[in-house]
Structure 1
Amino acid sequence: MTRTEGDTWDLATSVGTTATLVAAARAIATRDGAIDDPFAEPLVSAVGVDFLTRWATGDLTSADVDTGGTSWGLAQMPAAMAARTRYFDEFFANAAAAGIRQAVILASGLDARAYRLQWPAGMTVYEIDQPAVIEFKTTTLAGLGAAPKADLRTVAVDLRDDWPAALQAAGFDASQPSAWIAEGLYGYLPPEAQDSLLDAITSLSAPGSRLGSEAVPNTAGLDSEDTRERMRESTEKMREHGLELDFTDLTFVGERHDVGEYLDALGWSSVGTPMGQLLASHGFDAIPESDDDGPSMNGVTYITSTRA
């Protein structure tokens, strides 16, 4: 489904499917013992996308789907998502240890951190996402008997709308330091929307606040049509197995500010960790370099920024 202005989605369509894909990778990483996300597999199964359910449960493997020499395969995803999950889990643990007592998960998707992390007393966790996504996850987890381990406040609003007002209406206190994460988000925003999001976060962040980001590479120098064609070719087998999702319709290419540099200019102090370094530090193998020249997970950088 091609992105349009004001488009909406659930967890089985458009951008929402990518959240389910990531949760499926977390389910595999959990089964492999790399992380502990007991909610990933049941949430994926509840969404009901057959391809992703079969992959999450092991009925379908990456070898059945991947095309050799591509940066868009499934094989590297469980390790990459395990390392990413650990990074943001540790980010929140460190923020809580520093005394921060309000956390915000932007575009929360199937993130179950409010239910699986050991939060300190007095912690409030805000989840922001599309109304259909929030309703599905909340209802499904309740049906599984899961209960949040913090004061969870869901904020059912599109990030293209006035989400700061909705967040504050839910009880967010901009005078107190906060911990934010933007995980798997920036690539689905136009470059100018990324800047607007960072501006809004800054305006709501008291001194001592922290922001954890997954920053995607600048694709201004790439031939967008050539890149999109390579992505289509490398994901053809996914469509053959029933995943009717064209990733080329979901992401935005073009000139994009470096997240760390942009935030530092706004008064933050940022430290970046490239994907390769993150994988190595957690004992995972490196992601092979692709035969194509398009963007890949090797170009992703994880950034922790602190508001001065």
Structure 2
Amino acid sequence: MSTDRHDRDSWDITTSVGATALFVAAARALEAGKASAVAVDPFAEVFCRAAGGPWEELMDGAARDHQLRTEFGDRFVDFQGARTRYFDDYFRAAAGAGVRQVVLLAAGLDSRAYRLRWPEHTVVYELDQPLVLEFKRTVLADYGAAPRSARVEVPVDLREDWPQALRDAGLDLRLPTAWIAEGLLIYLPADDQRQLFAGIDGLSAPGSHVAVEEATPMDADEFDAARAHELASGQGGTFFTLVYNQQHEPAGQWFGEHGWQGETTPLPRLLQTLGRPVPPPGSEEGRLTWNISLVSAVKDG
């Protein structure tokens, strides 16, 4: 499959945007292996071994030329550990506030339905490409894992009418919902980001929670250089060749203007709080740190 994005492209777990889920899972697995891990996903390694090839080799300590074995990779693992911790804590807070509906937008290899302790009667809806959901379900079933909540798959492309698909799957619009868009917005054009936010708002009862990861656009010349470097290194389809570097309204601003109260946490601040190094702004590692923020908000009641 070409690494160039277009409006109707699709993927499975090993191609295009889908392959980034394995890259992130591998980073979570490496984070979980640290004595000082800030987040532990016991299923991340399971996914990598099921994918085989360089992903399994990485888990065995081989694949020394893998991008996650570089200085960039070390900082990316720190980033994924911090991001996972942030969203885990977010869901614990939402559950503690009484929310019993959870929606994972572009669920990828998110295993929270299987690894977090959900209160009784919680329903987790997972939206993603059909082949991605199938891979996760099959791998975890073969491993013998069972979800800790009711889990509903919603196979849908988020550029289509996913709100209707979610309603058809059983989302109760009378009840508050906890939403997550982790590692998603950068893979959507700016117009689709706004439509995604509008869809979340339109399906959310008062007291709903939302958390997203967002990135401010890079300088155009810097982005083009990073994309060219990725292609020249044979790593096309890893990141810069897949994302949209477009100006968009900040998530905190958008939700604030639509009746949500929230907070934005820049990634460097989160890394510092968790005791992880923050790469210099101008470095290769800094490109995936200094322009990223994590946003969470609650809809006014």
TM-score, length-scaled by structure 2: 0.92
8 Å contact kept, 1:217–1:295: no
What is the Cα deviation at residue 157 of structure 1?
0.6
Structure 1 stretches lacking a partner, 5+ long: none
Letter in 2 for 1:279: L
Q: Give the whole-Å Cα distance in 1 for the aligned partners of 2:15 and 2:285.
A: 28
CA contact (8 A) 2:17 2:237 kept: no
Q: Taking structure 1 as reference, are residues 10 and 60 closer, same or farther at Cα in structure 2, changes over 3 Å only?
A: same
Amino acid at match of 1:58: G
C-alpha change, 1:47 and 1:173, in structure 2 (3 Å) is same
- Residue 128 of structure 1 deviates from its aligned partner by 0.4
2-structure distance, mates of 1:116, 1:208? 25
Alpha-carbon contact 2:230-2:241 (below 8 Å) kept = no
Distance 1:118 1:246, change over 3 A: closer
Q: Does 2:139 match 1:140? A: yes
Using the TM superposition, give the Cα deviation of residue 103 of structure 1 relative to its aligned residue in structure 2, in angstroms.
0.5
- TM-fit CA distance, 1:305: 0.9
Task: Tell me whether 1:42 sits opposite 2:46 in the alignment.
Answer: yes
SS at match of 1:276: helix
Aligned to 2:216: 217
Q: 1:260 to 1:64 in 2, by over 3 A?
A: closer
Q: Tell me the equivalent position of 1:231.
A: 227
Change (3 A) 1:66 1:104: same
* 1:280 equivalent in alignment to 2:283: no
Aligned length: 296
Distance 1:217 1:61 in 2: 32
Structure 2 residue aligned with 1:266, among 258, 265, 279?
A: 258
Unpaired stretches in structure 2, ≥5 consecutive residues: none
- What is the SS of the residue equivalent to 1:270? strand
Q: How far off its partner does 1:15 sit?
A: 0.3
Q: Within 2, Cα distance between the matches of 1:272 and 1:116?
A: 26
Change beyond 3 A, Cα 1:293–1:141: closer
**Aligned counterpart for 2:239 among listed residues 213, 228, 247:** 247
Q: Percent identity?
A: 39
Change (3 A) 1:235 1:75: farther
SS in 1 for 2:290: helix
Task: Write the letter of the residue equivalent to 1:8.
Answer: S
Would the aligned equivalents of 1:116 and 1:149 in 2 still touch at CA under 8 Å? yes
Residues 122, 166 of structure 1: CA spacing in aligned structure 2 closer, same or farther, 3 A cutoff?
same
Q: Aligned partners of 2:160 and 2:17: how far apart in 1?
A: 17
What letter corresponds to residue 58 of structure 2 in structure 1?
Answer: W
SS at match of 1:75: helix
Shift of 1:252: 0.6
Would the aligned equivalents of 1:25 and 1:56 in 2 still touch at CA under 8 Å?
no
